[in-house]
Structures are given as C-alpha cells and as structure tokens.
C-alpha cells in the first residue's frame, strides 16, 4: 500500500493506547487519527472518522468490543478490524472473526509486530498473534488446534444424537474443509454433505460454519 494507513485506537487502557501510538508513529506509514476508551465512543468515532483500520480491545468499558464490532460492521463493513489483546482466547476470536475481524495482535508483541500486522490486514490478510495468515480458513484452523490443546470438560457426541457421518462432517468443518472437499474425502455428493450439515445445525442451534466450529470446540467434539 502506498498511502498512509489511518488507524483508530480503541482501548480502555491509556498505557496501551500510548504504547501503540508511539509504535505506529515510528512506522512512517501509519497515522493514528483518533483514540477512544469505551465501546460507545468506538462506534461513534469509527463511523465518523471512517479509518482504514480499527485497533480494538475486546474488553472495552460500557459496551463490549464484540457488540461494538457488530454495530460497526453493519454500517461500514469495509473497515478492517484488528483486535489487540493480552492473549488469544479462541472462542472469542472465532466469534470476532465471524462478525468481521481480521485477526488479533498480541499486546506483548506490539513493538515487534503491530505495524506489520496492520499493514498485512489492510492488504487483505489475516493476523494471529505474531504471524500473518492469508485466509479465514487458515486462521480458523490455527485457532481450533490451539483451543483443542487446552483441557476442558468433554461432552459426548451422543448427547446431541449425532450420527457417525455427522460427526465426520463436523470434524471436517472444524478443520476448515469446504463441502466439496468433504464430499470427496468421504465419498458422498455435495448435496448429501449439505443435508448432513443442515441436520447438525438444527441439532445444536447454529446457522453458520464458524458457529458450528466454535460449538464443536467449546464442547470438545474435536481432537
């Protein structure tokens, strides 16, 4: 990108905003056009300033970051959103990705990679922690395997009355596979895969692949 990238800082922690502002000022190609400290201000200032990128803390005062994201994405979906947090919590990040976030930059890695993360996201990529990711499927794949590594109470597949084939489809969805890839892998038509997926959605009360992946992770249905 040849133009300067305009960034709005949205974080309830003044020291974090100051640190990010200093780092971005030194980048030479990124301009901080505003700072806000709560979720309500985030919506107002984002829609008023129309930055190229919103650097957002999920734990904002007054209005949670995810709710602010929903409002912004419904009004100005072209604005890139990069989360800035202390650590990656996979369930929250998957939900944020579903709403429209382009990834997460870690607070402890700001000096090393924040400017690179912003440039990469504004060029169309995704960013997780301290590395670039080219697509949403790859981002979800990385989060799934990190999430699955942490011990959690296990829910039996029998609880939801999944068939053996439905369990296979769920695992492929969590692994980021398309319906076509799933069909080829298990020897079914794409229409049959879609039917299995529709049945699974109905059993667990979700309506998108990302919601299903998040559900499967939170109930430890994948290994």
Can you say whether the dihedral through the CA atoms of 88, 91, 93, 94 is positive or negative? Answer: positive
What pLDDT was estimated at residue 199?
94
What pLDDT was estimated at residue 116?
93
Determine the straight-line distance between the first and last CA of the chain, rounded to whole angstroms.
Answer: 40
Q: Judging by beta carbons within 10 Å of its beta carbon (0-12, 13-18, 19+), is residue 156 exposed, middle or buried?
A: exposed
Query: Contact 101/79 with Cβ under 8 angstroms?
Result: no
What pLDDT was estimated at residue 56?
95
What pLDDT was estimated at residue 98?
73
How far apart CA 117 and CA 91 sit, in angstroms, is 21
Helix axes 65-75, 39-49, angle to 10 degrees: 20
What pLDDT was estimated at residue 108?
86
What pLDDT was estimated at residue 152?
46
How far apart CA 93 and CA 218 sit, in angstroms, is 13
Q: What is the largest CA-CA distance in the chain?
A: 56
pLDDT tens for each residue of the chain, 223 residues long: 458 999 999 999 999 999 999 999 999 899 999 999 999 999 999 999 999 999 999 888 888 888 999 999 988 989 999 999 876 566 677 778 778 888 888 888 899 899 999 999 999 888 877 667 666 656 665 665 555 544 444 444 456 789 999 999 998 887 777 888 899 999 999 999 999 999 999 998 888 777 787 777 767 676 5
What pLDDT was estimated at residue 144?
57
Task: Spell out the residues 6+ positions from residue 150 whose beta carbon is closer than 8 angstroms to its own.
Answer: none
Structural domains present in the chain: 5-135 (3.40.50.2300), 157-218 (1.10.10.10)
> Model pTM?
0.67
What pLDDT was estimated at residue 221?
72
């Amino acid at each position: 990108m040849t133009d300067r990238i305009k960034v709005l800082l949205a974080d309830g922690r003044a020291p974090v905003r100051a640190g990010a502002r200093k780092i971005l000022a030194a980048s030479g190609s990124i301009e901080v056009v505003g700072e806000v400290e709560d979720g309500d201000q985030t919506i107002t200032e984002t829609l008023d300033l129309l930055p190229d990128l919103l650097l957002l803390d999920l734990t904002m005062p007054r209005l949670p970051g995810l709710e602010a994201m929903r409002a912004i994405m419904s009004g100005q979906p072209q604005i890139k959103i990069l989360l800035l947090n202390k650590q990656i919590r996979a369930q929250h990040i998957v939900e944020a990705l579903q709403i429209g976030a382009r990834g997460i930059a870690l607070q402890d890695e700001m000096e090393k990679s924040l400017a690179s993360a912003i440039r990469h996201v504004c060029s169309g990529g995704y960013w997780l922690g301290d590395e670039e990711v080219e697509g949403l499927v790859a981002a979800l794949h990385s989060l799934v395997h990190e999430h699955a590594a942490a011990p959690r109470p296990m829910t039996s597949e029998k609880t939801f009355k999944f068939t053996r084939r439905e369990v296979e489809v769920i695992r492929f969805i969590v692994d980021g596979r398309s319906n076509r890839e799933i069909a080829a892998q298990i020897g079914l038509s794409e229409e049959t895969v879609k039917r299995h997926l529709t049945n699974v959605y109905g059993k667990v009360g979700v309506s998108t692949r990302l919601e299903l992946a998040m559900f499967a992770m939170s109930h430890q249905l994948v290994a």
